Amino acid sequence: MTYATEEDGNYEDDERKKREAKVVEEKMFSRLDAIGVTLAQTRSEAIEGRQNSGIEDDWLEDEEYYEGVDDANRSELKAWRGKPLGSQLPLDDDNDQQGSTIFLNITRPYVDGTAARTADMLLPSTGDKGWGVKSTPQPDLLKLSKGDIPDSVKQSIRAQGQVGQPQPGQPQAGQPQPGQLQQGQPQVDPQQEAEQNEIDSAVALARETLKRAKESAKKVETQIEDWHVECQYNKHARRVIEDAAKVGSGVLKGPVPTKTTKLIYKDGKLTHVSEIKPASHRIWYRNFYPDPACGEDIHRGNYTWERDDITRRSLVALLDVPGYITPQIQKVIHEGPMEAVKDFRADMDIPGLKLSNTARKSLFEIWYYHGSMRKSDLSLTSLMSGKGMSDSDDNYGADEYVHVQITMVNNRLIKATLSHLENGKFPYDIMVWQRRLGIPFGIGVARQIRPAQRIVVGAMRHMMDNAGIAGGPMLFIDTNVVQASEGPNEVRPWKVYVAADDYVPGESSPREAIQFLTAPMLQAELQNIVELGMKMAEDVTGLPLIMQGQTSQRTPNTLGGMQLQNNNASTILRRVARLFDEYVTEPHIRRYYDHILQYSEDDSMKGEFKINALGSTALIERDLADQAMIQMGQYVLNPVFGKDPKKWLDEMLKVSKLDPTNLSYDDDEWQSIVENMAAQAEGPPDTRVEVAQMQIQGAQQLEEFKAQTAQQMEQLKAQIKASMNDRDREFKSINNQVNNDHKDKDRNANLSTVQMEGEVELTIA
């Protein structure tokens, strides 16, 4: 007979607790699998929605034309991964003449040239950027800082001034008593003086507030720019622009917390320092799956999915990493890699998945989900990962939805955390080259140029086929006249022909029996079709070849014509720049500022700021205005216009793709130069400078003396001329008087003669 001991009772309790804990754990994993199935359903919806939109077929066609691939030459390119878009005749002995398969690729240079030109202007290497952070303008504060006092402020100051005012008849503090005013000294109203002091204080405070806001905005801008430099933002943005030019869509992700490790020298030794900082990354457009119900804006959808590849070794490295659910990763490794498809299945064996091919036997698909999740489900994943309940669990209800980031492999959830942005914004931006209706993906240059590419390829293949036909003569032989002495009737050296059996001498000539026929080449006609396709390529894209550094027959020969064509072609680049600002720059930089508001410990960077995303367009305008900036130099050097020559020179260097900082003095060198200039200004005067100044003053005095002498000579000449005119008038007057006297004398003489003659006549009578 046996008796139960106390130790046996404890053993049974422990076993019971283990069984109960195991049951609870199985229920928790079962619930976790159910969450994974629910998420996999949304993933299948995203995959199906993108496939049904037809955008993936367009992407494949654009990629093939970018690589110079179509159904005619697909078999020649063994490394091309694309699948056939249509039927293709097999090559065999009976059908081995398929004609020319040449593919004159004009898609690639157009895409590469346009993307390079756009990225060169939007992302210059001269230190400029297409965005800025500015404080939100406050109209009342701006007016107050300029001395324009609003009426409300004046009334408030006056109302405050009435408090504590002395009673009528009571002398005010600081006011002189009667009889104490000095003669000629105006009487000052203390109330007005106090009001003016309050106004001056308000103006000074407004200016100081605006200054601090401007400094804070500059600090935020510098911080974001430093993060961009560390994560190589320009490199990722260039790839986004290249994707957009090729297929119409480029995806930029950020900011996402990224762990970086740097090697620094500290305390006499090398040390590895790890930091977590926000970063931006380019995402391949084929790996991004938005909510099908988002329309043209992914941020209007409920979720986003991102796909990537991960090796078995990388999965093993995630075991026991804080935040990851180790049993789930072990199950994934045991299952093997699977590929998600659009047709979802509820079977837990392969729910919505299919086994991967042998080429991916050690390459898994890892999926990143950004969306919402019940708080109770998030708490479960936290418990399963060993993190426990977070401090914020009490702030949410069990059925309340929160913004989360989830990592899945196969159909299993291996990690779930709260979104690093409290507002739950998706960390993705899609740049579109040209918008499409109803979907967030766009149309690229490869799609725009597709008709012209087909024209060029078709004309070139016909040209080569016809050249093969016309490349050699065709032989005509009248076998009734001549025939080969042996073998077939063909053209080859030292071939012997003899008369045919039906040959009758004299009726026909052997020379006429053998004739060579030549097919027309038609090269000029087919070349015109090729040029027509090239012309259409410029028309449908709005980008002439001159924008790519190439010329054609349509390129203007005059400087004015080329400038006009460049200005007209720049309208397309301006449109692309505005789309880049609207879809990428503004929301992307805004999320960086949200990250600062949420995680930064520097309160001086927290305020009410706005993102100025018009810099991209300004960069393009400046790049196209190089000639105008050169002509502007004569005005900038004139201080009357109030422009800074140093800033003008910096802009000129930027237009020439040169970094002004590389040509500037270092701070120490410039400080030394400034001090030397100041010392020379305070030191003894230079005799050479004095001599030069004396020479300048002497020259100025000489010029003044010459001017005064010339003025005196002109006055003297005028006086002499006036005097001579007076004398001439007097001489004429005297001359006229003398003439009049002579006339009177002659008249009197004539009268005397007449009288004498009369008297003589009377005497004679």
The pLDDT assigned to 140 comes to 67
Distance between CA atoms of residues 275 and 216, nearest Å: 24
Residue 237 or residue 265, greater confidence: 237
Count CB neighbours of 266 within 10 A: 8
Q: According to the per-residue pLDDT averaged within each range, which of 80-84, 152-156, 387-391 is highest?
A: 152-156
- Give 355's strand partners: 338
Question: What backbone phi and psi angles, to 5 degrees, belong to 717?
Answer: -60, -40
Residue with tokens 């622009």: 241
pLDDT for 284 beyond 70: yes
The pLDDT assigned to 49 comes to 94
The pLDDT assigned to 155 comes to 64
Distance between CA atoms of residues 170 and 288, nearest Å: 81
Q: Model confidence at 528, in pLDDT bands (50, 70, 90)?
A: very high
The pLDDT assigned to 281 comes to 95
The pLDDT assigned to 364 comes to 93
Distance between CA atoms of residues 483 and 513, nearest Å: 10
Region 113-135: what's the mean pLDDT?
Answer: 80
The pLDDT assigned to 757 comes to 47
Q: According to the per-residue pLDDT averaged within each range, which of 17-21, 573-577, 742-746, 748-752 is highest?
A: 573-577
pLDDT for 566 beyond 60: no
The pLDDT assigned to 173 comes to 45
Q: Model confidence at 296, in pLDDT bands (50, 70, 90)?
A: very high
Distance between CA atoms of residues 409 and 340, nearest Å: 10
The pLDDT assigned to 88 comes to 42
Q: How far is CA 62 from the centre of its chain?
A: 23
Distance between CA atoms of residues 348 and 33, nearest Å: 9
**Cβ contacts of residue 223 below 8 Å, gap of 6+?**
596, 600, 605
- Cβ-in-10-Å burial (0-12, 13-18, 19+) of 625 comes to middle
- Cβ-in-10-Å burial (0-12, 13-18, 19+) of 401 comes to middle
Q: Which tens digits make up the pLDDT trace of 196-209?
A: 777 777 778 878 88
Residue 741 or residue 285, greater confidence: 285
Distance between CA atoms of residues 582 and 574, nearest Å: 12
Distances (CA, A) of 459 to 284, 529, 578: 35, 6, 37
Residue 159 or residue 313, greater confidence: 313
pLDDT for 501 beyond 70: yes
Indicate the residue type of 340. A
- Contact (CB, 8 A) for 576 and 566: no
Residue 436 or residue 145, greater confidence: 436
- Contact (CB, 8 A) for 120 and 182: no
- Contact (CB, 8 A) for 250 and 287: no
Region 668-697: what's the mean pLDDT?
Answer: 67
Sequential DSSP letters for 265-292: EETTEEEEEEEEEEEEEEE-GGGEEE-G
pLDDT for 358 beyond 90: no
Residue 443 or residue 556, greater confidence: 443
- Contact (CB, 8 A) for 380 and 313: no
Spell out the long-range contacts of 381-389 with Cβ–Cβ below 8 A and sequence spacing 24 or more: 381/32, 381/35, 381/325, 381/413, 381/415, 381/416, 382/416, 383/28, 384/28, 384/29, 384/32, 384/325, 384/327, 384/328, 385/322, 385/323, 385/324, 385/325, 385/415, 385/416, 386/322, 387/322, 387/323
Q: Model confidence at 95, in pLDDT bands (50, 70, 90)?
A: very low
pLDDT for 751 beyond 70: no
Of 495, 607, 541, the residue nearest 219 (C-alpha): 607
Q: Which tens digits make up the pLDDT trace of 395-425?
A: 445 578 899 999 999 889 999 999 988 888 9
Among the residue ranges 56-70, 162-176, 374-388, the one predicted with the least confidence is 162-176
For residue 295, is it left (φ>0), alpha (ψ between -120 and 50) or beta? left
Q: How far is CA 693 from the centre of its chain?
A: 54
% of the chain at pLDDT higher than 70:
70
Region 675-694: what's the mean pLDDT?
Answer: 64
Residue 410, CA atoms < 13 Å, CB-side half-sphere? 25
Residue 255: asked if its preceding bond is cis (omega within 30°), the reply is yes
Of 371, 449, 381, the residue nearest 404 (C-alpha): 371
Residues composing the chain: 765
pLDDT for 765 beyond 50: no
- Contact (CB, 8 A) for 414 and 332: yes
The pLDDT assigned to 64 comes to 93
Residue with tokens 């063994």: 78
- Contact (CB, 8 A) for 409 and 365: yes
Count CB neighbours of 470 within 10 A: 15
Distance between CA atoms of residues 201 and 365, nearest Å: 65
> Mapping DSSP to helix (H, G, I), strand (E, B) and coil, where does residue 241 land?
helix
pLDDT for 232 beyond 80: yes
- Cβ-in-10-Å burial (0-12, 13-18, 19+) of 13 comes to exposed
> Mapping DSSP to helix (H, G, I), strand (E, B) and coil, where does residue 491 land?
coil
pLDDT for 111 beyond 90: yes
Angle at 530 between CA 526 and CA 533, to 5 degrees: 140
Indicate the residue type of 167. Q
Distance between CA atoms of residues 182 and 681, nearest Å: 46
- Cβ-in-10-Å burial (0-12, 13-18, 19+) of 472 comes to exposed
Distance between CA atoms of residues 259 and 411, nearest Å: 27
Region 236-241: what's the mean pLDDT?
Answer: 95
Q: Model confidence at 565, in pLDDT bands (50, 70, 90)?
A: low
The pLDDT assigned to 626 comes to 61
Among the residue ranges 66-75, 642-651, 652-661, the one predicted with the least confidence is 652-661
Question: What backbone phi and psi angles, to 5 degrees, belong to 703?
Answer: -65, -40
Residue with tokens 């002495």: 485
- Contact (CB, 8 A) for 307 and 289: yes
Indicate the residue type of 356. S
Distance between CA atoms of residues 666 and 267, nearest Å: 28
- Cβ-in-10-Å burial (0-12, 13-18, 19+) of 680 comes to exposed
Among the residue ranges 353-367, 566-580, 700-714, the one predicted with the least confidence is 353-367
Mean model confidence pLDDT for the chain:
77
Distance between CA atoms of residues 53 and 294, nearest Å: 13
Distance between CA atoms of residues 118 and 112, nearest Å: 10
The pLDDT assigned to 85 comes to 44
The pLDDT assigned to 9 comes to 57
Q: Model confidence at 107, in pLDDT bands (50, 70, 90)?
A: very high
First to last CA, the chain: 223
Please report which residue ranges of 603-686 form alpha helices under DSSP H: 615-624, 626-631, 633-636, 645-655, 667-682
Helices (H) and strands (E) in the chain, counts: 22, 16
Count CB neighbours of 534 within 10 A: 19
Residue 377, CA atoms < 13 Å, CB-side half-sphere? 23
Tokens of 658: 């040169």
Region 164-175: what's the mean pLDDT?
Answer: 46
- Cβ-in-10-Å burial (0-12, 13-18, 19+) of 28 comes to middle
**Cβ contacts of residue 323 below 8 Å, gap of 6+?**
385, 387, 415, 417
Distance between CA atoms of residues 285 and 240, nearest Å: 9
- Contact (CB, 8 A) for 337 and 363: yes
The pLDDT assigned to 453 comes to 93
pLDDT for 696 beyond 80: no
Region 449-462: what's the mean pLDDT?
Answer: 93
- Contact (CB, 8 A) for 106 and 537: yes
pLDDT for 748 beyond 50: yes
